[in-house]
Amino acid sequence: MQLRTLVVSRLALLSASLSAAAAVAAAEHRSVLLICVDDLRPELRCYGAQHMLTPNIDRLSDSGVTFDRCYVQVAVCNPSRASTWTGLRPDRLNVYTLRTHFRETVPDAVTLPQHLRAHGYTCESLGKIFHNPWPDPRSWDRPHAWGKGSYTNYTPEQEEFRRGVERGLPDDAWQKGNLRGVITNAPDIADEDHRDGAMTLLAIDCLRVHKEAGEPFLLAVGFTLPHLPWAPPKSWWDRYDRDALPLPENPTPPEGAPEVAVGTSYELSHYADMVEMPTPYSGTLSESQTRRLRHAYFASVSFIDAQVGKLLDTLDELGMADDTIVVLWSDHGYKLGEHNGWSKMTNYEIDTRIPMIIRDPHAEANGQRCGRLVESLDLYPTLCELTGVPTPADLDGRSAAPLLDDCGATHLDAAFSQFVRGARIGNAMRTDRWRYVEWRRLDDAGLESRELYDQQNDPQENKNVVEEHPDVADRLAIRMQQTLVPGPVDLKATMHSDTGGRRAAIRWRNRRQGEVRVTWVNPMGQRMQAIDLEAGEQRDYNTFVGGLFAVESLDGRYHEYVRVGEDDAEIELGGDGADTPSASHRRPVVDGSSQDKRKQKTETDGD
């Protein structure tokens, strides 16, 4: 067995236990209920969409501050969430794709829940907070949990339909072996029979436990709907008249936009009844198809709205509303036929703008709307300020807490978003009037195209006017490049497998008292195959010399990187640390170093 090199990192900030004085101070801090909704665009009644049935989010809006212009840093799940919860911009974090975990790019990043834990908070998560396969166990005091049940509730006939479509695909079709079921479903089930509904019940139980404990907490509740597939219970479909729903007002790609900017809508083509999904430049869905999909999305939003209402009701019933900050946030917006596109994955307003509502019981501007530009990055320092926890100095966001008392207070002059498509990166800036975008090559940062949209005269961004206003574009370019500095982008993560090593057969042996997950990190630094090993389990595994694996216990108390060496035949995991948590669920990080750098390790017991 090779020696393990201990990683010296910011995690040393997470101390073994709080001092008595810090514990007393922590008890005075307000708790946080963080509600994360996947793919939720600000098409809610409280944002002016009168056709939407969202009474519970609306009442949260009525009692909190509603941000009209909040923007994410990347309009796709994993990088948006990684940026928000680490407080680092994508170009600093180097996470742009779905498979790159921020722990492989900035191993010593301290997430918002980690930081709050270091200051006396109990932090736990349910559902989708970080990207689905990797809940980042070291961020939480307890193992991450999901609701029971199904997201789809497909019938046997629907399952057979999927199999039949897959059998009929050409052998070289990328969906072969990866095809999902139908994109919409209306199962006649109770709310709690959907996995998001079941998770709501778990969250309510968690709130009751925290009420009894009487200590400050962060409870992060992540709903998956309205992410695809859209399969909310039938009762929520029945609340809408499909024929009366509005159609997209701008169903064509922006005039003068480079094709790379518009995207491909490929996400929908994962599903059995949408394998022929056209790109925005190759075709258009029929009106009936458009109405079906929009109906499904709106029904999904109303279903989630009801779950939000159950959480708010619980806070009221338990007498916790006056001591709990409530945040509703989405990881990005979404297209429902706008620009002849579907899904997210662009730098446009429709994809980067999100609903965000913050209800601080002590804020003076509750019930008001805030029109200031705000970034998703701002949530980390905002919650630090609201909870009275010191704000880390190296965050990229800026606290929006002053806006909760004065919605007209000075904040940002611009919000920034980025998106990597193929060999190009789009850097975007939103100001009060303009959206400016540069598309550059990844390898040498060469500028290939620019976009400029006039929000004052063209709020739907239907025409690229960069040729009409070159002076404006040049001025905005100078401002944008102060924050998003042009340069080559290497998507390869810091931690990654080597290439060229010989094939090797190894045996994993888990010596911990609990389960561990072993995930192969490919040569680009992307997390791929994962296996779970029960306590004491051993398993044979075929890999190669130089292969890198991220190893972590699902309870967050143990994590390391293991690189397979020439002489490795059996690799023991977790054999040199205790498995029993302390009463506070916190133990110090062990810092040190070794000359053997083939394995790096950070081990904590609770952090």
Catalytic residue numbers, as ranges: 77, 131
The β-bridge partners of 556 are none
Residue 454 is classified by DSSP as: E
Residue 504 is classified by DSSP as: E
- For residue 429, the SS3 value is strand
- Sequence-distant (≥ 6) Cβ neighbours of residue 310 within 8 angstroms: 200, 204
Structure tokens at 7: 């990683």
- Do 162 and 141 meet the contact criterion of CB atoms below 8 Å apart? no
Residue 582: count of CB within 10 angstroms of its CB: 13
In sign, the C-alpha dihedral spanning 132, 40, 481, 414 is: negative
**Rounded to whole angstroms, how far apart are CA atoms 414 and 342?**
26
- For residue 471, the SS3 value is helix
- Sequence-distant (≥ 6) Cβ neighbours of residue 599 within 8 angstroms: 2, 3, 4, 5, 560, 561, 562, 563
Angle between helices 287-317 and 55-63 in degrees, nearest 10: 50
- Do 317 and 308 meet the contact criterion of CB atoms below 8 Å apart? no
Strand pairing report for 31-37 and 217-223: parallel
**Rounded to whole angstroms, how far apart are CA atoms 483 and 333?**
23
